[in-house]
Structure 1
Amino acid sequence: MIEAQTLAPGSKLPPERTLAEEFEISRVTVRQALIRMEAEGLIFREERRGWFVSPPRIRYDPTANTSFTESITKQGRVAGTTVLSKQQVAASKWISNLLRCAVGVPIFIISRLRSVDGRAVMVEQIHVKAKRCPGLLDYPLDQSMTDLMLEKFGIIEHRTQISMRPTALSDQPAKALGASVGTPSLYLSRTILDQLKEVVEFDQEFWRHDAIDICVSTVGNLEEETNG
């Protein structure tokens, strides 16, 4: 039905009982098929709403110094950002190791929800050294952080030390994405340096696994090797 476009991207699947009757199979078999299709990224669940056909994936290069909004717009899609929370805290031992700072120094933590064509696809948590960008939380934070850091604080960000792994959504990201706890997802973490190669930011992202196609460009790396 999806291949024949009887069910278009974003449309809701019929109830499990209806599918079982139409294909003359048990509801147990229907549920097994739906779970498998979810794992393959063909469909997705929304809490208390049911199953839906996954929209086309977006291309995403976590190594590129391009904002989320710019990347999505270039693909003819509509990007959205919602600030979930923002706060200043004292650096824990865990984050102090990642930001290469002392335990207890002020850290800004910003949580945001990202959407594509109105569908929530990613929750991110941004950790920033407060001393490098005083007053950051007073600015509109639904814009590109890369552009904001450059325009207001003169920080040119460079992404490095990127890690990715499959995981399942825990309670908080699942709630923000309107998904069930345990839904397959892609976890991505990224350390960001400034133009002086000092760590200024550490980001964590929790993606709906059916929403993205990871495409890493090697052009920049080849140019660096050539110039070196």
Structure 2
Amino acid sequence: MKTIIIDDEPLAIKLLEAYVNKHPELSLSASFTNPIDGLEHLRNNPADLLLLDIQMPELNGLHVARLVRGQCKVIFTTAYEEHALKGFDLDAIDYLLKPISYDRFCRAVVKATSGEAAVKQSPAATAAPAPTSLFVKSGTRTLRLQLDELTHGSSSGDYLTLYLADGNKILTLENLTDFLTRLPADRFCRIHRSHFVALPAITFVERRRVVIGETWLPVSDGYREAFTKLIG
């Protein structure tokens, strides 16, 4: 199986490359620390299997998986166990929690070569409903945020501002990249190193900007292609 690795950690890539080269049923095609570069390579060089990290600064791995859905099989490799259910929702073959042992890696490859998806082995995962809210710490309070009220978010320095449909906003110290991993990948998308948007809240897209009501946000070159694919 032609295999591509996308992970922003060079040490993680080296380990996975060693595992792929060691496995008789896999052939390493390419490795990338930048998911945008990985997507571009996949567009011109189809692969059978993608080993994909989830939490990356340039583009969330869950968004990458959605963009390549149906093009190749995906095995998630991440240090964060809480992403597992989201991975299963995207029909991932398996979910490998770092640090990854070679034995566990081989078991995931068996599922990939046999066409057996991890979601089929996890009734709890398939039954789990999509989240409708999450908790956000703001000052001394921990607030429940209804996701259908969230229109967009912008980071500035150490702070992330979340904007709501009623005009209110929530200020939190949470990192933008970390916060995005908590959001449904089919409804929220990063469009700039400092901004993300809720797709249902978009009024229109014009040239290199997204308009939400009377607010407009820039779409940077690094995220434009992935955003364009996501909105079709």
Where on the TM-score scale, by shorter chain, does this alignment land: which range? under 0.3
TM-score with structure 1 setting the length: 0.27
Higher RCO (C-alpha under 8 Å, 6+ residues apart): 1
The structure with the largest helix share of the pair is 2
